[in-house]
Protein backbone atom coordinates (compact mmCIF):
# COMPACT_ATOMS: atom_id res chain seq x y z
CA UNK A 1 0.00 0.00 0.00
CA UNK A 2 2.72 2.45 1.02
CA UNK A 3 4.84 1.47 -1.93
CA UNK A 4 1.91 1.96 -4.29
CA UNK A 5 1.27 5.48 -2.95
CA UNK A 6 4.88 6.46 -3.35
CA UNK A 7 4.86 5.23 -6.91
CA UNK A 8 1.73 7.24 -7.66
CA UNK A 9 3.30 10.40 -6.30
CA UNK A 10 6.24 9.99 -8.62
CA UNK A 11 4.42 9.21 -11.85
CA UNK A 12 3.68 11.70 -14.60
CA UNK A 13 6.41 14.13 -13.70
CA UNK A 14 6.92 14.29 -17.46
CA UNK A 15 3.60 16.18 -17.75
CA UNK A 16 4.80 18.66 -15.12
CA UNK A 17 7.98 19.24 -17.12
CA UNK A 18 5.98 19.78 -20.29
CA UNK A 19 3.70 22.33 -18.63
CA UNK A 20 6.66 24.25 -17.20
CA UNK A 21 8.45 24.22 -20.53
CA UNK A 22 5.35 25.43 -22.34
CA UNK A 23 5.11 28.44 -20.02
CA UNK A 24 8.83 29.21 -20.31
CA UNK A 25 8.93 28.91 -24.08
CA UNK A 26 5.76 30.98 -24.58
CA UNK A 27 7.10 33.69 -22.30
CA UNK A 28 10.38 33.75 -24.18
CA UNK A 29 8.78 33.98 -27.58
CA UNK A 30 6.37 36.72 -26.57
CA UNK A 31 8.90 38.93 -24.83
CA UNK A 32 8.88 42.35 -26.46
CA UNK A 33 12.22 43.25 -27.91
CA UNK A 34 13.77 46.69 -27.53
CA UNK A 35 12.94 47.65 -31.08
CA UNK A 36 9.21 47.02 -30.62
CA UNK A 37 9.23 48.81 -27.27
CA UNK A 38 10.84 51.82 -28.91
CA UNK A 39 8.19 51.89 -31.59
CA UNK A 40 5.37 51.64 -29.02
CA UNK A 41 6.96 54.46 -27.05
CA UNK A 42 7.25 56.70 -30.12
CA UNK A 43 3.70 56.06 -31.33
CA UNK A 44 2.07 56.68 -27.93
CA UNK A 45 4.21 59.79 -27.49
CA UNK A 46 3.08 61.06 -30.86
CA UNK A 47 -0.60 60.56 -29.98
CA UNK A 48 -0.25 62.40 -26.66
CA UNK A 49 1.52 65.38 -28.21
CA UNK A 50 -1.20 65.50 -30.83
CA UNK A 51 -3.94 66.14 -28.25
CA UNK A 52 -2.00 67.80 -25.46
CA UNK A 53 0.17 70.87 -25.82
CA UNK A 54 3.35 69.36 -24.42
CA UNK A 55 6.90 68.67 -25.58
CA UNK A 56 7.52 64.91 -26.22
CA UNK A 57 10.45 64.84 -23.79
CA UNK A 58 8.18 65.91 -20.93
CA UNK A 59 5.92 62.88 -21.26
CA UNK A 60 6.32 59.80 -19.08
CA UNK A 61 4.71 56.65 -20.39
CA UNK A 62 4.27 53.54 -18.26
CA UNK A 63 2.70 50.46 -19.77
CA UNK A 64 1.49 47.56 -17.65
CA UNK A 65 0.27 44.57 -19.60
CA UNK A 66 -2.17 42.98 -17.17
CA UNK A 67 -3.44 40.13 -19.25
CA UNK A 68 -0.06 39.16 -20.53
CA UNK A 69 0.75 35.46 -20.61
CA UNK A 70 4.19 35.88 -19.17
CA UNK A 71 2.90 38.37 -16.56
CA UNK A 72 5.64 40.63 -17.62
CA UNK A 73 5.47 44.30 -16.86
CA UNK A 74 6.99 46.65 -19.37
CA UNK A 75 7.74 50.14 -18.21
CA UNK A 76 8.53 53.04 -20.40
CA UNK A 77 9.64 56.12 -18.57
CA UNK A 78 10.45 59.62 -19.65
CA UNK A 79 12.08 62.00 -17.27
CA UNK A 80 10.31 64.95 -15.58
CA UNK A 81 6.79 64.80 -14.23
CA UNK A 82 3.65 63.00 -15.40
CA UNK A 83 1.05 64.80 -17.41
CA UNK A 84 -2.43 63.31 -17.33
CA UNK A 85 -4.58 63.49 -20.38
Closest contact distance (angstroms) between CB of 30 and other proteins is 12
CA–CA separation, 31 and 38 (whole Å) = 14
Q: How many whole angstroms separate alpha carbon 3 and alpha carbon 12?
A: 16
Site track 38-67 with other proteins (rule: CB under 8 A), x = hit:
------------------------------
Asked if 23 touches other proteins (CB under 8 A), the answer is no
Cβ 44 to other proteins, closest distance in Å? 26
CA 9 – CA 56 distance, rounded (Å): 58
Distance from C-alpha of 75 to C-alpha of 60, rounded to nearest angstrom: 10
Positions touching other proteins (CB under 8 A) are: 10-15, 17-18, 20-22, 24-25, 28-29
Amino acid sequence: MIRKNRKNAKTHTGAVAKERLKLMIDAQRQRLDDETLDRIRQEIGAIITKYVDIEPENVEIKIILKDYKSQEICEIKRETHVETV
